[in-house]
Amino acid sequence: MNVVLPDGKQLELPQGATAKDAAQAIGPGLAKAAIGAIVDGDLYDLLKPLPEGASGAKIKILTEKDPEYQPLFRHTLAHVMAQAVRELYAERGFKPEDVKLAIGPVIENGFYYDIDAPTPLREEDLPLIEERMRRIVADDLPLQRFVLPREEALRRFEGVDPYKSELIRDLPEGEEISFYQQGDERYGFTDLCRGPHVPSTGRIPPHFKLTSLAGAYWRGDSSRPMLQRIYGIAFRTKEELEHYLWQQEEAKKRDHRKLGAELDLFTISEEVGKGLPLWLPRGAFIRRQLEQYMYEKELEHGYDHVITPHIANSKLYYTSGHLPYYKDDMYAPIEIEGEEYYLKPMNCPHHHMIYKARLKSYRDLPLRLAEFGTVYRFELSGTLSGLARVRGFTQNDAHIYCSKGQVKDEFIRVIQLFDEVYKDFGISDYWFRLSLPDFENNPEKFGEPGPHWDEAIAAIRSALEETGAQYVEGIGEATFYGPKLDVQLRTVLGKEESIATNQLDFISGTRFGLEFTNEKGERETPVIIHRAIMGSFDRFFAFYLEHTAGNFPLWLSPVQAVIVPIADRHLGYAQQIAAQMRQNKLRVEIDDRSERMNAKIRDAELQKIPLILVVGDKETESGTVNLRERHAKEQRTLAVGELIEQMHKRVQERK
């Protein structure tokens, strides 16, 4: 068979050849440096034969200089860890078959293995396992790959490991059942595995670390056995590992759940219910500020605000398609006078009924309806996380009803509004994801392809190209009623998440019988844009809290300044300043505790209050304050009037 090299040259290889054979055919230097390959976009190791009929396949041999090879050594590390775990239990008097192994895949930044052991592992066992792993890596055990018939593979695990047996039985008939062995029968480890792997354990970089233990149900099913999961991280370089560990420590400090408790912003009460946050006074103030900001922005951009109820008749959600397509994510129905009602999972069906309240003309379009609407969705308790993943949340929601000819311009306006809002909040590292349907693999969700899908996708692409917005594509990420444009960003952990969305809907207008009279006097169905600039206020608040580490700008801070009198005799002057600032609608507190000045200043810094105003004899006599500004090294002395003027300017500019 012929394969094509990156420079376009063709290489003749025998059937059944591996990437290792290809590297050797190219030259001895590359054969020595080779660690894996990319074949037609798929990652291969040096041991697995190239696919049958691979003639014309594009192949690139990977060396340790290529970052694409990271999944190879991370996967092999999962096997090395499994071998080390069995060694640890052997030292404790257990047999190898006493430690049953489930799965050990590669994940972002590392790997894990799920095990069913005779006694639970503890955190203090991780360094012991890691020490054995480093010895196995240093021993440079070669890896071998072999294939067994189904029955022989099953016999290998019969009565020994029910997890591997189940995996084999679930493989489709005719699928190859492969194993990887590192080392030999005397000293080594063999596992059921598709691969790919590095050629030997010595090719694994030493920059890895075991990080944590967790519980995990077998195959994610709560009715199946609970296994113990061991997590590890691994990188090509020491610098990458150290940066990741630093990032994790920084993320712990910035975790919105930790900051939420420390700064008295929100709480979760088991008595109220999981995933149903309670906003404390300071957090509620910030949220109100976010809402007021968006309210003013949306008015500027031609939106009309509406209010809709928290429940609706089941008929509404059958019409919208939520009950057929989305029922598992909705709460159970409430029976009222023989009819079923549901807590609303989305605001859009309610807005459609507002549109339908009276017949529209083309002169009424585009109609932009906005609402800070609270919705309720059933999330598994294990997925809940502070404000980032909740069961009740308030969306910064809006629906734009327009003609087909207005779609592109309206979509561009929304993209520009995203840019405007995020710039005001200092958020620059974000991009868009064009979320598309997957008709082939998920027809039950997306139905059949058709003109409405083609038109919607073409309109979004055209808007993106005209604005020059940075975007990627995500197959299968669309909603059941149309493609969408998601706003993607990285959290403090470096993880990519969607924070907001902009969806184009050519379907719901027909479902609800929405119409307008066009210029010719004919009835026409509007196109609907579902738009949420901040997504939900809850999720945006969580992200922004972590993004700022709780150091909110002056206009958002619940307490903008704290006055620290040096002694009790300065308290009267502090009260005069506070009264003057409050008259100017500034938020100020006085720390009149009988603590030392430095302790008061430290407490104010821990509460992340933007301005600390220290007053003593000198300030009292001169009518000034000693200003200590968050993150500023230098202290300044300002007249009270000048301070108020500067604060007003910063609040108005929302800097």
- DSSP calls for 452-473: HHHHHHHHHHHHHHHHT--EEE
Q: Which of 106, 9, 11, 107 is nearest to 50 (CA)?
A: 11
Residue 212 tokens read as: 């944590």
Report the C-alpha gap between 381 and 363 in whole angstroms.
48
Whether 555 and 289 have beta carbons less than 8 Å apart is answered as: yes
256 is catalytic: no
Mean pLDDT for 68-77 is 96
Mean pLDDT for 297-315 is 97
654 is catalytic: no
Whether 26 and 12 have beta carbons less than 8 Å apart is answered as: no
Question: What percent of the chain shows pLDDT beyond 90?
Answer: 79
The CATH number for 142's domain is 3.30.980.10
Residue bearing the bigger pLDDT, 319 or 443 = 319
484 is catalytic: yes
Q: 20-40: per-residue pLDDT in tens?
A: 999 999 999 999 999 999 999
- Please report whether residue 187 resides in a domain: yes
377 is catalytic: yes
- Please report whether residue 259 resides in a domain: no
356 is catalytic: no
Q: 137-176: per-residue pLDDT in tens?
A: 999 999 999 999 999 999 999 888 999 999 999 999 888 9
> Phi and psi dihedrals of 178, rounded to 5?
-110, 155
The CATH number for 457's domain is 3.30.930.10
Report the C-alpha gap between 26 and 11 in whole angstroms.
8
Exactly one of 45, 397, 486, 505 is catalytic; which is it? 397
Pair 141, 285 in one domain? no
Mean pLDDT for 636-655 is 92
Exactly one of 282, 377, 433, 600 is catalytic; which is it? 377
Quote the pLDDT of residue 326.
Answer: 83
Whether 145 and 47 have beta carbons less than 8 Å apart is answered as: yes
Exactly one of 100, 348, 591, 600 is catalytic; which is it? 348
Exposure b/e, 601-637, CB count within 10 A at least 16 = b:
bebbeebbbbbbbbbbeebbeeebbbbbeeeeeeeee
- Number of domains observed in the structure of the chain: 4
The CATH number for 622's domain is 3.40.50.800
Q: Is 348 annotated for ligand binding?
A: yes
Residue 427 tokens read as: 């958020």
Quote the pLDDT of residue 73.
Answer: 97
631 is catalytic: no
Pair 382, 500 in one domain? yes
Exactly one of 368, 484, 539, 600 is catalytic; which is it? 484
- Please report whether residue 554 resides in a domain: no
- Please report whether residue 583 resides in a domain: yes
Q: Is 530 annotated for ligand binding?
A: yes
Mean pLDDT for 220-233 is 94
Question: What percent of the chain shows pLDDT beyond 70?
Answer: 99
Angle, helices 126-138 vs 70-91, to 10°: value is 120
Pair 286, 434 in one domain? yes
Residue bearing the bigger pLDDT, 456 or 624 = 624
524, pLDDT greater than 80? yes
Exactly one of 287, 399, 539, 570 is catalytic; which is it? 399
Question: Cis peptide before 366, with omega less than 30 degrees from 0?
Answer: yes
Quote the pLDDT of residue 54.
Answer: 67
Q: Is 243 annotated for ligand binding?
A: no
301 is catalytic: no
482, pLDDT greater than 90? no
Q: 88-127: per-residue pLDDT in tens?
A: 999 999 998 899 999 999 998 999 999 999 999 999 999 9
Residue 436 tokens read as: 């598309």
Pair 165, 271 in one domain? no
Exactly one of 70, 395, 406, 560 is catalytic; which is it? 395
Pair 242, 359 in one domain? no
The domain in which residue 587 lies consists of 561-653
- The per-residue pLDDT of the chain, averaged, comes to 93
Exactly one of 20, 368, 530, 570 is catalytic; which is it? 530
Q: Which helix (H) or strand (E) holds 588?
A: strand 588-590
Exposure b/e, 574-583, CB count within 10 A at least 16 = b:
beebbeebee
Instruction: Out of 199, 219, 247, pick the residue that ends a domain.
Output: 247
Instruction: Out of 13, 42, 63, pick the residue that ends a domain.
Output: 63
Residue bearing the bigger pLDDT, 496 or 614 = 614
Please tell me the pTM assigned to this model. 0.78
550, pLDDT greater than 70? yes
